Amino acid sequence: MEDQGIQDLVPFKGPIPITGHAIEAKVDTRKKRLDLQVFLYRCYRVTGYAVDPPLGFCQVVDAPATIVIGDRTVFQPVDVSGIPKQYFNFIRNEDLKEKSEQIEFLIDYLCRIENCSTIMKRKDNNMLKMWVIDESERVIEITLWENIAYTYANVVAPWKVVAVSSLKITKFQDSLQLESTSAITIDVDLAIEGYTDNIKRLKDIPKKDTISFGFQTEDDIRSNITTLANVLSKDPASVHNHRFACIAAIKEIHGYRTWYSSRCPGSQCNDTVRYEDDRLMCKQCGYLEKPTYRYCVNATLCSDKSTLPVVFFDSAMTQILGIDCETLVVREGYTDSKVVPKPMLALIGKEKIFSFCMKQNDDAHIQQTLEVKGSAATVANKLPLEDLPSTAPATPVGKILAKHRRSEDDLDGPLISNKKP
């Protein structure tokens, strides 16, 4: 595209630079068909466009304006050689958090793939996951959705250096992740001008066992069991977002922390809900008739003399308990979120294989639980366990508490106080 300046919205022509800045353009496809006029990697002189402020969402480049293509816009091909066919504005892993707090901004990421999944199905959506590192060796997860997953399934592979464009920053269980958008491109082992040294450094990083970046099968987990002592002996920064599998037992479930949260039932929301003027309210969806309930159980794992604080989120606790949170709260009547239910207490002391992901705050998120094959012994006699309650809570079955106490620490968190008494 020819370099053009904006002066009272009248373009003026200048020399065509080989390097320069990028700017976004938008077009109403109902009014103008670009696919018949414009082709990728070709150069055009563009005239007859207007200018708008930058987009407030899914912005691709950090530019102060957006070109608006309309009926009078003309694309005139220009025969120029030497102009790069790619534009990247790579962001470092350490800057992702700051960027995520700005407007929804699409980013480019230069990284090496450490492991990748096959195409999986989650809630009727097809997806492919990649675990990647940048030069700092920090791990982050990239999810490719639907057709994009199929497009790149045979392209991505462990140890390949890739330049990924137009990724969206998201958050899951307090961890930043990256997700594909319709504008994504993935270039493998690309020679990018100005990034030769960065690519070489990525290739030279020692290869790690791919299994630590996401278990694929039950056999993977069972064949890669380590000890809690070994995991805890490592530098926390070096194992952040890495997966491990250990044989351990739940030593304690923290009753002073809430074991479930109330969520909006909206399929595209799942936000925390609260009571306002005696009515259930979601800040995104408005007033609700009833919430859904999700596990968020804080516990401690132990093995020999090693202990590790962990969190069981909804799918992990449902798997190990065999009861979903909705059933436990609504049908079984365990409505006090600070009184640990008897079925949950019964898990204490039972030896299992726990697959978990290490987090930055020295705790771990449980991903999956398997039974120990061969020796099914429990370590209950080695643990200082509390007596299990002999009866269920006094709250009648099916009765939902009319109100919850509001969280004092986290306005977006559970509806009950999470302060330790």
pLDDT-derived band of residue 222, with 50, 70 and 90 as boundaries? confident
For residue 409, tell me if it sits in a domain: no
**Statement: the pTM of the whole predicted model exceeds 0.75:** no
pLDDT at position 215 is 56
Across the chain, mean pLDDT equals 77
Residue 65: pLDDT band (50, 70, 90) is confident
Report the distance separating Cα 344 and Cα 332, nearest Å.
12
> Which residues, in sequence order, are CB contacts of 73 under 8 Å at separation 6+?
27, 32, 46, 47, 48, 49
Which residue did the predictor score with more confidence, 356 or 174? 356
* Structural domains in the chain (count): 3
Binning pLDDT at 50, 70 and 90, where does residue 311 land? very high
Q: Please give the distance of CA 362 from its chain centroid, rounded to a whole number.
A: 19
Of all residues in the chain, what percent carry a pLDDT higher than 90? Answer: 29
Predicted confidence (pLDDT) per residue in 7-31, tens digit: 333 444 455 444 557 788 888 777 6
pLDDT in tens, 197-213: 999 999 999 887 655 55
Which uninterrupted H or E stretch holds 357?
strand 351-358
User: Both 63 and 197 in a single domain?
Assistant: no
Looking at the structure, do residues 188 and 238 belong to the same domain, yes or no? no
pLDDT tens-place string over residues 316-336 = 999 999 999 999 999 999 999
Same domain, residue pair 231 and 376: yes
Predicted confidence (pLDDT) per residue in 145-197, tens digit: 999 999 999 899 888 999 999 999 988 766 789 999 988 999 987 778 788 99
Is 268's pLDDT higher than 90?
A: no
> Which residue, among 323, 322, 320, 324, has the nearest Cα to 366 in the 3D structure?
320
Classify residue 418: in a domain, yes or no: no
Residue 344: which CATH number? 2.40.50.140
Of the two residues 337 and 413, the one the predictor is more confident about is 337
Domain shared by 202 and 263, yes or no = no
Give the distance from CA 328 to its chain's centroid.
27
Which region, left, alpha or beta, applies to residue 114 given φ > 0 means left and ψ of -120 to 50 means alpha? alpha
Query: Which one-letter DSSP state was computed for residue 327?
Result: I
Looking at 211, 237, 268, which one is the last position of a domain? 211
| Residue at a domain's end among 189, 211, 233 | 211
- Mapped onto helix, strand or coil, the DSSP state of residue 421 is coil
Residue 18 lies in a domain: yes
* pLDDT single digits (tens) 32-60: 677 667 887 788 888 989 998 887 777 77
Task: Give the residue from 211, 245, 268 where a domain finishes.
Answer: 211
Is there a single domain that holds both residue 222 and residue 316?
Answer: yes
Q: Do residues 240 and 205 both lie within one domain?
A: no
Confidence of residue 312 (pLDDT cuts 50, 70, 90): very high
Tell whether 73 and 107 lie within a shared domain: no
- Going through 22-72 in order, the beta strands assigned E by DSSP cover 24-27, 44-47, 50-52, 66-69
Residues 236 and 372 in one domain: yes
Q: By residue range, what is the domain housing residue 21?
A: 4-77
